Structure 1
Amino acid sequence: MEVIENMRGKSEKDEPLLKTYFKRYLLDVRGVSSRTVKHYCDALNNITRHLKEKHLIRDSIYEVTDLKVLHDLRDILLQDADFVALDRRGNRMYTAGFNNYLRFAEGQSFAELHDRAGALDIPMPPIAEEPRTYEVHHFMRSDILRGQTLAFADYRCEMDGDHKTFIAERTHKPYMESHHAIPIHLQGKFEHSLDIYANLVCLCPICHRKIHYGLMDDRRLMMYEIYEKRHERLSRSGITLGKEEFADLVLHDGADYARHL
């Protein structure tokens, strides 16, 4: 038990968010041994070095939040003679580590693990307050966490599980959207990250639009419902708010932002 606790706490405040979540997912959700988790993480560290030498990533494999890019990187590695030889000498631990990370990133079997999702609710360092520049200015958020949120909810709307949409070509699952209960642009008000599982909700497109553009009274009721479902998980993640405080923060401080969505 002490070994596992040490692994959970080791440098979590300084490591990438997805690395921390990956370790917690393996240890606390899937019940993988701490020794195997260490092997997987060491494998991903070596994969990071290999990809950096080829100038395919900047800092870490965990910075890649696009699933297609992750798959492309794996394909590149599997066609690289040096990597294949390294992987063979290491008893294929490198590909095992990468494949398990992909399994995590894709949210495989998350629906079956729904009752264990709370194990991932821990305080995380805040995302950068300043938006990064790509084609437009926006706050960085993880597409991987978005996809996993839908998988955790088994692609059912968390406001009303009977809401129907359509089958999406990309996932072959009912089309749903992830929603930050506390808007990501309010990150500056919080000590810990808002781009976390506890703050992400799976919504059908109608409920997602309603929560941004619906009548104020209807939106407040939706805020209350989300609060009842998530306030304990948010608290474990370092975000503690009262019911009215939560609703007022989202409905008023987020009002101007919602008009531009």
Structure 2
Amino acid sequence: MSNKNGFIKWLTNNTTLSSTTILKYANAINTISLELRKYQLIHENLYDNLDSITVKAILTKYLSIPELKDKDIRGNRMYSNALKYFTKFSEYHDYNAQIQKELVIEKIGYEKYLKENYIQVINDINIVDRIEKKPTYKTVNNKKIWSRDPLKARDTVAAADYLCEVNNHHQYFISKFNFNNYVEAHHLIPMKYQQEFDCSLDVYANIVSLCLVCHKQLHYGLFEEKKELLSKLFTDRKDRLLASGIDITINDLYGYYRD
């Protein structure tokens, strides 16, 4: 059950609960689901419905049933606490779903731009590292989605000669958009941390050219396996980042990739 695993991971990363308590809460959601189905208050497992509004309503319903309320009290409020954490998890899930939707829209726009501007970028492209003001943003669920300039991404991969900056031997296939080795642009310091900086993170110094494997590893790999990639990219970019007003340590960078 993937949503159960997601709940366990969320509790691990966002609470100070012990691993034993986390497992109890995760299993409690299954027990609560069975009990509420018995009362015909729901028709599916709570893990199958992560809508935050529905989950909040279910918490109220659960505590309104005397038998279940008494059981919760006898169990040191394990069930109601599990539901309260599950409510927060559902809000996080809703937010992430909306964010992913916005990012997909941005990605589609970027790929559309590439298709319409696939002509070879000139070799003497002028990339200058300088301090730039924060980019604009739009607000989704009270969170900021920062805009990114596809020109900077395009220029960065061209300046890297369409090679992976972790290892230029990482060459997998030719892009149909520009007929060069396929690489992807990646913000070394993720844009979601823009609020922590007084200057823009959408600058040449903070954008790297990566093969699809290295790019996916930075997003989805184990942290310990990301460190080697991050260390190399940071060493190569540290001076350029400073020229762009971005003063961080390697440990700061590691911190952005621990979640």
Q: Normalization by structure 2: what TM-score? A: 0.51
In the alignment, does 2:188 pair up with 1:175? no
The answer on whether the counterparts of 2:183 and 2:211 sit within 8 Å (CA) in structure 1 is yes
Residue 246 of structure 1: CA displacement?
Answer: 2.2
Relative to structure 1, the CA distance from residue 203 to residue 143 in structure 2 (aligned partners, 3 Å threshold; closer, same or farther) is: same
The answer on whether the counterparts of 1:67 and 1:144 sit within 8 Å (CA) in structure 2 is no
In the alignment, does 2:197 pair up with 1:201? no
In terms of Rg, which structure is larger?
2
**Match for 1:109: what amino acid?**
I
Please show how residues 243-258 of structure 1 align to structure 2 within 5 Å: 243-248=250-255, 250-252=256-258, 255=259
Aligned to 1:156: 163
**Match for 1:170: what amino acid?**
F
Runs of 4+ in 1 over 3 A off after TM superposition: 65-72, 129-133
CA distance in 2, matches of 1:70, 1:108: 11
The answer on whether the counterparts of 2:137 and 2:145 sit within 8 Å (CA) in structure 1 is no
CA distance in 2, matches of 1:189, 1:224: 21
Q: 1:121 aligns with which of 124, 129, 132?
A: 129
Q: Higher RCO, 1 or 2 (CA under 8 Å, sep at least 6)?
A: 1
DSSP-derived class of the 1:108 partner: coil
CA distance in 2, matches of 1:211, 1:109: 29
The answer on whether the counterparts of 1:121 and 1:198 sit within 8 Å (CA) in structure 2 is yes
CA distance in 1, matches of 2:201, 2:120: 19
DSSP-derived class of the 1:251 partner: coil
**Match for 1:221: what amino acid?**
E
Residue 67 of structure 1: CA displacement?
Answer: 9.4
The answer on whether the counterparts of 2:115 and 2:177 sit within 8 Å (CA) in structure 1 is no
Please show how residues 2-81 of structure 1 align to structure 2 within 5 Å: none
CA distance in 1, matches of 2:172, 2:163: 10
Tell me the alpha carbon deviations over residues 46-101 of structure 1, each in whole angstroms, 9 at most, x when there is no partner: xxxxxxxxxxxxxxxxxxx96977998xxxxxxxxxxxxxxxxxxxxxxxxxxxxx
Relative to structure 1, the CA distance from residue 107 to residue 195 in structure 2 (aligned partners, 3 Å threshold; closer, same or farther) is: farther
The answer on whether the counterparts of 1:155 and 1:174 sit within 8 Å (CA) in structure 2 is yes
CA distance in 2, matches of 1:106, 1:186: 33
Residue 138 of structure 1: CA displacement?
Answer: 3.7
Relative to structure 1, the CA distance from residue 70 to residue 225 in structure 2 (aligned partners, 3 Å threshold; closer, same or farther) is: closer
% same residue: 29
Q: Which runs of 5+ in 1 are unaligned?
A: 1-64, 73-101, 256-261
**Match for 2:158: what amino acid?**
A
The answer on whether the counterparts of 2:230 and 2:254 sit within 8 Å (CA) in structure 1 is yes
DSSP-derived class of the 1:219 partner: helix
Residue 172 of structure 1: CA displacement?
Answer: 0.8
Residue 244 of structure 1: CA displacement?
Answer: 1.5
Residue 214 of structure 1: CA displacement?
Answer: 1.4
DSSP-derived class of the 1:235 partner: helix
Q: 1:228 aligns with which of 230, 235, 258?
A: 235
In the alignment, does 2:121 pair up with 1:108? yes
**Root-mean-square deviation over aligned CA pairs:** 3.0
CA distance in 2, matches of 1:70, 1:155: 14
Residue 149 of structure 1: CA displacement?
Answer: 1.1
CA distance in 2, matches of 1:177, 1:69: 14
Q: Which moved more, 1:154-163 or 1:213-222?
A: 213-222
Residue 228 of structure 1: CA displacement?
Answer: 0.2
CA distance in 2, matches of 1:193, 1:158: 22
Q: Normalization by structure 1: what TM-score? A: 0.51
Relative to structure 1, the CA distance from residue 129 to residue 68 in structure 2 (aligned partners, 3 Å threshold; closer, same or farther) is: closer
CA distance in 1, matches of 2:111, 2:230: 30
CA distance in 2, matches of 1:124, 1:165: 34
Residue 173 of structure 1: CA displacement?
Answer: 0.9
Tell me the alpha carbon deviations over residues 22-65 of structure 1, each in whole angstroms, 9 at most, x when there is no partner: xxxxxxxxxxxxxxxxxxxxxxxxxxxxxxxxxxxxxxxxxxx9
**Match for 1:226: what amino acid?**
L
